[in-house]
Structure 1
């Protein structure tokens, strides 16, 4: 939310104003925010009419999945418990001493209660770079990440077994099994797309779309557009027209209210 307001011209009034009681409500709100982000970001939001249509339809499809409760594969945790989740937990925020022992973890300001599926996703930072910023493309990121993931999970499993034997970890606290399943099922990429508005398009089109909606037969818009509601289809072209006009105007700030 902080980045959307700071960098994306996202209106503060459209941010969530209250806690959530279910995982599906949380996912649905994130899906709504993705569409609102596309709508309110005036500059550099779309590259062309075709690009705008693809982004518009993709976000409505994601909202459809959320409304049908298909995004969260851990449905047994629909009503919680919700776990503490730190969006900024990565190696650069972990401090070590001269013996390479962890002595502190810093930067907790982006910590919140989240659906358990977020915690079951393995960390994206195993390559120290996000998928959308990987200079060699998404396929290479996935290939390299899979190799690092196996190393990470092996180390985690060994530590979990050690902790189980010492009695410092309960069997229902084991993460390695759920993290492995998250990658195998594709839930890792679903959760990443849900959490990362700036990376939504790259992740959705590479890893989410085909998983839920099948092969497009070379006509992505033709096969996906019928999945939208009549109202969503009717409002697409006016939406595209507005975004293209905004791209030409290149206004630095828009203070007009949106309804």
Structure 2
């Protein structure tokens, strides 16, 4: 497998320490006793885990209220939300919501029995087909509801009045948060506006991957050639995005669909009878290119392709097998909705997902949304779609050098020199938000 872009370990350890120290505040009896809010229904945004916490809370509250208003998806009812200054003891921005009674969640229902909690889960290979189709069918129903909603721009939602919602703020994604938190990306490099076209947004995401490689201080590359390989992958991906070749989208100017970065089995709560009780964690949800929603969900196997124990090709083979079950469940769900008059034949999501998988658009979307997995995905799944088959995936980057101009070659070699110099020392370099800076100061003061 091609090397991944590993997270900066220094940033990771520092972020974990900050969030751990912040969380200890809740173990102090005087804090719990002084707060009049129930901690069982209050979500706090931990510093160094979530950057842009105020923006994230505003976005999450807006999308949850939209879903309650516009869909039948069961999401927690929001009692109150507020800024850091409005929170108990001014600890963080917050959301107070009703607790959803449940017995388990979809992750536990799908996971391999006996899998230790600390290990990464994998879809139970021996799961009963009827059970799997039943569980997949409920997940398909949620995705189908989301896919029916359209917006004219890419970005986060705002409630204008009691009856009107619009996309007026930048799309804030989980990947963007992680790039700042663990990838050394300056906050100023993130998009700061909405987008009107799919190609513009894809180019912006391609630019983020380039900036990620430039700015991550530690653990970014393993050698000079690894740096060149990663540089080549990112430049070629952006070239394809600029030329509007990546997706050749029929939805270039919309309509755009609701996309939740964190929608996954672990956030789907179940009753004892395995019926869905509710769906939680709608942070990082925004109107996105339709192709994001039209790609089959990677979480059908629970585990991501880049972490699959037997390699990415085996993941693809197992996924292809399970996708048939998922799409059958979705078609059954669509049939019911069409019979009820709630869905048009042209709104079937299953056909879009099948085309996305068959055309490998799935991998293009996945690479755009997962910066730390980008390199493995690009060289194994994307590069062969657009360029002649390389003699070896390991040396494909050398065969692509002719696609770069002289200036780009110079930039590549300058970056190689920079990264080799950086490898001589390990220095923490990141761009924490004001909220995290304050938490660091408090922790230092306590010591």
* 1:33-63 Cα shifts (integer Å, max 9, x gaps): 0010011001110000111100001100000
Match of 1:36 in 2: 211
Instruction: Determine helix, strand or coil for the equivalent of 2:337.
Output: helix
Residues 81, 254 of structure 1: CA spacing in aligned structure 2 closer, same or farther, 3 A cutoff? Answer: closer
Q: Give the 5 Å matches for 1:1-259.
A: 1-73=176-248, 75-218=249-392, 219-253=395-429
Give the Cα separation in 1 of the matches to 2:380 and 2:250: 28
The root-mean-square deviation of aligned C-alpha atoms, in Å, is 1.3
* 1:84-139 Cα shifts (integer Å, max 9, x gaps): 10111111111111222212111001101110010100000011000111121111
Higher strand share: 2
Give the Cα separation in 1 of the matches to 2:352 and 2:405: 35
Give the Cα separation in 2 of the matches to 1:214 and 1:183: 21
- C-alpha displacement of 1:10: 0.8
Contact 2:268 2:278 in 1 (8 A): yes
- C-alpha displacement of 1:230: 2.5
Give the Cα separation in 2 of the matches to 1:217 and 1:117: 31
Give the Cα separation in 1 of the matches to 2:202 and 2:397: 24
Superposition TM-score, scaled by structure 2 size: 0.56
* 1:181-231 Cα shifts (integer Å, max 9, x gaps): 001000000000011101101111110011111212345233201112221
Higher helix share: 1
Larger radius of gyration: 2
Superposition TM-score, scaled by structure 1 size: 0.95
Contact 2:305 2:312 in 1 (8 A): yes
Give the Cα separation in 1 of the matches to 2:291 and 2:380: 20
In structure 1, stretches of 5+ residues that fail to align are none
Give the Cα separation in 1 of the matches to 2:406 and 2:368: 25
In structure 2, stretches of 5+ residues that fail to align are 1-175, 432-447
Contact 2:198 2:253 in 1 (8 A): yes
Give the Cα separation in 2 of the matches to 1:96 and 1:220: 46
Give the Cα separation in 1 of the matches to 2:223 and 2:356: 35
- How many pairs does the alignment contain? 254
